[in-house]
């Protein structure tokens, strides 16, 4: 498996994996397949343009994209010390092989390389025990539960909000 930063040239592969994730795991995303299936490739190229303080990462098996994650940034001055993880997805055949952990490690490494970033936030569906376990093993802590955060196919689902304090060295990731 090879993990690398994605760029605009990866937009078609990214779109295929993203749409597969939105179809296969609708509870894992705030967005929906219906919303994104018609996105122009230029939107995704712009989203994947390499920037120094944020970016998307991809996991590749034999040059095939099998997982993605994005480190985003808050843009407002008073929030600029925070980043966030979003769009995490690993195709079923690449799960339970350390792919998600490897993707997150790259995103966290980028955040740690930027002294201005002090905290990383994410949200995860409360019923996603595997994702919660992964995030906790990397040092993320829960700071709240949002009831009825997502409405998917007429059913409401809670989300757990988590953060990682980059200055807290007592919570080193478990290997």
pLDDT band at 168 (very low <50, low <70, confident <90, very high): confident
Kindly state the average pLDDT of the residues 52-60.
96
Average pLDDT over the chain reads 94
CATH of domain 2-165: 3.40.630.30
In angstroms, the CA 160 to CA 154 distance is 20
What is the reported pTM? 0.92
Answer whether 56's CB lies under 8 Å from 103's CB. Answer: no
Dump pLDDT digits (tens) for 64-78: 999 999 999 988 999
Q: Is the predicted pLDDT of residue 104 greater than 70, yes or no?
A: yes
DSSP string for 45-93: HHHHS-BTTBEEEEEEETTEEEEEEEEEE--SGGGTTEEEEEEEEE-GG
Q: How is the chain split into domains, by residue range?
A: 2-165
Q: Residue 1 corresponds to which tokens in the numbers above?
A: 């498996």
Q: At 175, is the pLDDT very low, low, confident or very high (cuts 50, 70, 90)?
A: very low
173 SS3 class? coil
In this prediction, residues 103-122 reach a mean pLDDT of 96
Across residues 31-45, what is the average pLDDT? 93
Percent of all residues in the chain with a pLDDT value above 90, rounded to a whole number: 93
Confidence of residue 51 (pLDDT cuts 50, 70, 90): very high
């Amino acid at each position: 498996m090879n993990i690398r930063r994605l760029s605009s040239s990866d937009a078609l592969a990214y779109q295929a994996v993203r749409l597969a994730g939105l179809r296969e795991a609708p509870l894992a995303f705030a967005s929906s397949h219906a919303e994104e299936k018609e996105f122009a490739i230029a939107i995704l190229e712009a989203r994947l343009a390499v920037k120094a303080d944020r970016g998307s990462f991809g996991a590749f098996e034999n040059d095939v994209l099998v997982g993605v994650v994005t480190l985003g940034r808050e843009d407002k001055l008073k929030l600029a010390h925070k980043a966030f993880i979003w769009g995490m997805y690993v195709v079923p055949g690449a799960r339970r092989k350390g792919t998600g952990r490897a993707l997150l490690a790259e995103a966290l490494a980028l955040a740690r390389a930027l002294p201005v970033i002090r905290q990383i936030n994410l949200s995860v569906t409360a019923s996603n025990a595997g994702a919660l376990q992964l995030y906790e093993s990397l040092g993320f802590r829960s700071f709240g539960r949002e009831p009825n955060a997502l409405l998917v196919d007429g059913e409401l689902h809670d989300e757990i909000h988590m953060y990682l304090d980059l200055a807290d060295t007592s919570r080193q990731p478990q290997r």
